[in-house]
Every structure is written in structure tokens, then in C-alpha cells.
Chain A
């Protein structure tokens, strides 16, 4: 920005120099003056319909709504005069005319913009004696509860659905006193980000259905954590009371999720307490029977002596657990730990299994190619960024299945040779900042390393990868994967590691939350399941040991960009579960293996000593190794299977959530995206 784009203005008689592209409200914020508002939100377009942000501008005959007013040279703005206060009072009075006085039974009570601002800027009594209007509640699906009488028509939700979620399904019907917010024909909102309208709503019109009448904000303990149900690692705040989690809300992180989180992590918390493994189980006579730690560990240790075990790492496992497992398994000779249970292809460096473009830079791309990736259901936050790029004029191409997304894509074909499509080549040649996303559907089926090399060569040829940037991205939807691969919990094979492992003979399989233990090749093995939720994996195991969920212990997760973040403990573990590292410590002692750390902190210290890059939380791990290139570009035909097709039930926790089951019933039954719904 050049220097002369700054202009001089006055705010409350104080001189200020600000960027001329700002609005009056933004300038006031810079000056530290608080401007009340309802409809303005800095992530949405400006509507200017609540009129709460009125300020006085010298020489303007009337008060001006500051959110819509551009700055001008020499403007003198007054935010605290009698006139402004009277104006705000008037607006407030009109807003409250039709707003019910039901704060004591409203879920928004205590964190309501209208409540707060009525306190600061409002009139202390009502002069209105006529009947208030009443509005019918609208159906918006199983997640968003509506009490439309409370609506003040700020249209934040309408703008969010259209501009951020990319599903133009919400709208305001009628006008004047008859204006009502609704979805088209009262259908459920079909977006994976729909829960965010709850946070956006400045009043109690849109609230959370599962959280209805559960708690007041001042009773809740807040824990900053991260979303582990997809690989983006959105920042969340977990609100709990005593030993129960009551709500999950987003935490702002401009580098990752901005202010949004997917519906899965927001609403699947009821699944945290369903079907939990609360005590050790041992299989006796083909039936799992309740046992205790002493007995189960004794059997396990006797099995492990002189055996050749294999450890599988699941999708929700933190780095510390993986590290402890790795140390433990190294005592058995070959390091048989595998986290790539879906046969994901990787090369040696971090660059070959992570999202190399920072998430907040995706929107700068002017051409995006999806290869076997369905970001809409795998990683909704990344999908939102692609939608942003689309709105900035980016072209989106797709190879793989013809998937439904909330923006227009150009379908090239099912197999990689579609890269030679003339139109596409023409577009990518013209493009200044192209970006490629290779998804699990392709990565999991690559059998020939030359295919991978060819993708790299192709990327270099068309400037996707240059010396200064790397826009060749690898997307997998699981939160544990990048972290486990980073600490090397995988075999040396590039392709099909899991299939190759199953061909070897193991006598014991230890599964740390991996459901792949049910694979038929393990039928003759002694199976041990360490996990928190009882599903098929636990059912088919010989010993089941309870471990805490991510909300019951601290743990590091590397998100898809390779950014270490910490999930923090919000309450004590349920039942008799023990942290994985502690179980491993115990087993090591019995087996006379070396396992030094005595506490979790010591384990972390050791982990940081070995992998110092993990120490810088919230910073992307830098790595500048180059990927292998092909001598001649040749693509094999791959079998494309997307990792999951049901956004609401992709993992063991969501599968046990009643709210998620309702979503499947009410939202998935119709096609997830009807064009121009």
C-alpha cells in the first residue's frame, strides 16, 4: 500500500491518520472507540440494516451509520455526544419493541449482544403498550434451534449461508413488520458449517438444539483445545461443567479456521459419553467379560513375551501416545508400527504427506485442481477456503468421481491421464498461482512410485511447485496422520504399507484406536484394543483396555499443514481408563524394557528432545526438501475410493453421537447439494 493512501481524520477531536479504504466504524475501532452493532460482522458483507452503529459526523445533518460510511479526508467523527447517545437509545427502543422479554428462558442469556447493548445504550423502561408481534418458528434442521420471535433481522445468518457456507438456502421473506428469516421451504440447512449461524446470531433467535436449556455461560469451565475430527485442527473452546462437556464453540485463529468450525466437532460431543469402554475386558469363551487392570495386563504381558507384535495407530491418536508406542515397539526388533492403515502413499519427507500451502493462502490461488479429494466432507474448513478462491475468480477442476461441491467445478475425468486435457493445460499455463490438492482417494491407491513422481513433475512443469513456493498439497482427513508420520510411526514402504504388513506373520496385534484390527488377516492373532469407544474393533479383540479421549488428557496433534497444536484436558478420564503412555510404562517395567519417562511431562520433554520442531506450538514446521521427479511422466490407473462419504459419521466418536445420527436422518436423506437450492 502506498503512503498516500493514508488520510487525516478526527475522532472525538483526536487527530488520527488511517487507511482511506476503511469505513468509519473500522477507523473508530482503531481509535479505541467502541461502536455498538448487530448486523455488522467483519467476515461478512456490510448490510447496514440494524442502525445501531450511528455516529455523528461534522457537517452531516443527521446521524450516519458508521459501518457503511467510507472515510473522507478531514472527516471529524464524534462517537460520544448527546446526539449519538439519543440516537442509539432510539434505535434500541425500536429494536426492543418487538423483541420478547424472555431472557430468563433464553439460551442466549448471559452472552447476548442485545442484552449487553440494551444495558449500555438502551432506555431503562418501555413506552410501548401495544401487542408485540409473534413469528412462527422455522425448521432449520437438527442442529439449529429457532425462536423467530426474537429475531431482529440483522441478516447475518443469511449473509453467512450465502457468502461463507456457500449454500444460498437462507433468506428474508416479506417486508416491514412481516419480514421473516427462513430457509427455502423450511428445509434443513445442508452445509457442514451450518452451526456457525448460532454464534453469529446476536440474539437468541438461532441457538443450538443439543445445548438447549443445558447451562448458563457463567457456570461453564472453558478449555482451549483443537478439533481432532478432521485434519485441519480448527481451534475450539470446550465448555464443560463438572465432568461433562456441554458445548463446543470455535476459537478465532486467522491462520486456520478464522471464526468457523465444522458441525461435526461442534455437535458430536454427546458421542464422547456413549459406548465408552470404562474398564478392561478380557475375552473368555468368545465373550468379552469385565476384568481389571491387573489381570488383563498380566495376560497381555505373558502374550508379549517372545512374540512378534504389530502395533496399529488409529485416526484420533496424539503424538505423545504414538511416540510411547514407537519406543515400546522398538524393543521387539523390527519397528512394526503402522499408522497408514488406509494404505496412504508417502515419500520420505514431510512435504509428501502434508498440505504444503498454508491454509490461509489457499484463497490466493487462481486455479485449483482436486485429484481424488472431496474437501466438502473431508475438511469443510479447507472447502470454505476453496470457495473463497472460487469467489475471487479461481477456476476449480476435479479429477476422480463427479462429486457434489458448493461451487462450480470443471470435471476432467476419472483417472490421472485427464491431466492432459487440452482445456485444462491451457488454463494451467495461463494461471499465475495454481494449486493442486491430491486427496486420499488417489494417495491410498497408488501402487507405483512413478505415478507420484509424475504428479510432482507435472507440478513443476506448470509452476505449481517452484523454488519459492510449494502448492502441491496432499490431503487426508485424519487428525493423527501427519503427527504419526512425522515421528515415523510407519513402515519404510512407499505404497500399500498396510497390505504388505498383513502379508507378514504376526502373533499379536496391538491396536491403538484403530478399527483396522478387524482385518481378516489378523484372525489368528492375539488382538489387543486400546481405545475409548467400543465398536467392532473392541468387539473382535481378546483384550480391551480403556484409554482416555482427547478431552481427558493433554496431547499434541499436527494438523494437515504440519502445525503442532495442543488439545487440552478438560476433565478427568471416564471410568477406569489410563493414559496410553502409562500403560506402556507399566508393560515396559514388567517386560524389563527401557522406558525412562516417569511422568507425562518427562515423556514430552523426551519427545521434544528427539523432535525439537514439535516444540514450537502453532507454528508450521518448516522443511525444504524436494520431492522426487519422474524421468518420464506416466500415470497408472487407480481405483478411487474416498475415505468416507458420510460427513456426520466418519469416526468412532461421531458414530456414537445421537445428534450426528439425527443429521444423517434429516440432512443426508436429500442430496447434499441441490444445485441452486
Chain B
């Protein structure tokens, strides 16, 4: 089995109690209201996402138990869903989860070079977290920005049309707390002709 944080069947404890934040509670109320009265358990996926956002981007055992309690469903059922989808991380990840697309279009455009650059710059291997806990690097399949490859996703943002230099700049900016330009690094708007 791969060591990808989202593709593991083992869950771990964070050692801390997990409680919903005020904002989360508000969203939960809204989310649950979308489903019929006796079908609240359908909200398990958005709630897992909420928990992940609130819990430093990963799902701990405590999160699962909290969700099971909130939706009044068996813990194993929540665990099943969380383990099925690769975008729920089952172990702690760094502040910035760097997902490198390696599917054919990006790979043809040189995603290997990008991977090497990122590994060198963050000083960690694929599926590893850097020592300063700033980055976790993972390889993923198509993220759906094929015409702008090679591309990576860092947390919720896409960085497209990369080369080794622009990748390095993006990582440097993150390290130094400087803002980054999101989207194409070549100045393309959306996916217009290059």
C-alpha cells in the first residue's frame, strides 16, 4: 500500500480532544438542513471535510468519533468513508500539502522535473513531511488542469504552467511568508491559447 496520507486504512489519535468550532457548528447546521430529516448521515462527507479543515488538514480518530456522535452513526461507518477517499488525510500533514500531478499530460510537459525540484527545495521525499513541518509532498493523479501542465496544488490553490524556476519561487515565497501568484505562472488567463 502506498504511503500517501490519504490512501491509508490506519487512523491515529491526535492525543487531543476534538470539538467543533463555532463556525463549524454553524456550517454543520446548514449542511444537515440540506438532507431529509432521517437522512442526516448523508452529511458525513461534508463533515469530514469540515473536520479536516479545522484539524490542521487531517482526520484523527477524535474527529471520526466526533462526527459519529454528531450524526448519530456508528464510528466504523465514518471510518469507512474517510478511508475510501484519498482527499481525507488519515495522518498529520505539513502546513502546505503539495500535490504534484503526475498523470500523462503533465508528465509529458515535464512533471518529473517539477517533482525533483520540489523534493530538493523542501528537503523531503514523496509522501514525506519536511522537518520544519512546512511541506508535505505527494504525487497525485490528474487534478483536471491538463492544458496548463505541469501543475501542482498547494492546499486549496492551483499553480500552473510551471518550470523549475517558477516552482522554486513559489516554494521560496511560502517559506518566507510572501504572497504567491495563483494560477498560471506564465501569465496565461485561464487556459487560453499559449
Which one, B11, B61, B72, B79, contacts A171 given CB within 8 A?
B79
- B75 an interface residue at 8 Å Cβ cutoff? yes
Name the residue of chain B whose CB is nearest to the CB of A184.
Answer: B76
Question: Could you tell me if B7 and A172 are in contact, using CB atoms closer than 8 angstroms?
Answer: no
- B50 an interface residue at 8 Å Cβ cutoff? no
- B108 an interface residue at 8 Å Cβ cutoff? no
Specify which chain B residues have a CB less than 8 angstroms from the CB of A170 in the assembled complex. 76
Q: Which of A150-208 contact B (CB under 8 A)?
A: 162, 168-175, 178, 180, 182-185
- B116 an interface residue at 8 Å Cβ cutoff? no
Specify which chain A residues have a CB less than 8 angstroms from the CB of B9 in the assembled complex. 173-174, 178, 180, 182
Min CB distance A43 to B, Å, is: 20
Given the contacts A180-B9, A182-B9, A185-B61, A174 and B76 also touching, CB distance less than 8 Å: no
Question: Could you tell me if A173 and B72 are in contact, using CB atoms closer than 8 angstroms?
Answer: no
CB-based A-B contact count at 8 angstroms = 45
Specify which chain B residues have a CB less than 8 angstroms from the CB of A162 in the assembled complex. 74
Bound Cα distance from A170 to B75, whole angstroms? 10
Question: Could you tell me if B74 and A169 are in contact, using CB atoms closer than 8 angstroms?
Answer: yes
Question: Could you tell me if A184 and B75 are in contact, using CB atoms closer than 8 angstroms?
Answer: yes
Bound Cα distance from A169 to B74, whole angstroms? 7
- A520 an interface residue at 8 Å Cβ cutoff? no
Bound Cα distance from A250 to B1, whole angstroms? 38
Q: Mark A376-418, 1 if CB is under 8 A from B, else 0.
A: 0000000000000000000000000000000000000000000
Which one, B7, B73, B79, B84, contacts A184 given CB within 8 A?
B79
- B16 an interface residue at 8 Å Cβ cutoff? no
Min CB distance B115 to A, Å, is: 23
Main secondary structure of the interface of B (DSSP, over half): helix
- B23 an interface residue at 8 Å Cβ cutoff? no
Specify which chain B residues have a CB less than 8 angstroms from the CB of A172 in the assembled complex. 80
The tally of residues in B whose CB lies under 8 Å from a CB in A reads: 17
Bound Cα distance from A676 to B84, whole angstroms? 20
The tally of residues in A whose CB lies under 8 Å from a CB in B reads: 17
Given the contacts A171-B80, A185-B61, A676-B68, A178 and B75 also touching, CB distance less than 8 Å: no
Bound Cα distance from A17 to B1, whole angstroms? 51
Which one, A168, A175, A178, A180, contacts B76 given CB within 8 A?
A168
Bound Cα distance from A170 to B80, whole angstroms? 10
Interface residues of A (CB under 8 A from B): 162, 168-175, 178, 180, 182-185, 676-677
Between A and B, 15 residue pairs with Cβ closer than 8 Å are: A162-B74, A168-B74, A168-B76, A169-B74, A171-B74, A171-B79, A171-B80, A173-B79, A174-B7, A174-B83, A174-B84, A178-B1, A184-B76, A184-B79, A677-B74
Interface residues of B (CB under 8 A from A): 1, 7, 9, 11, 61, 68-69, 72-77, 79-80, 83-84
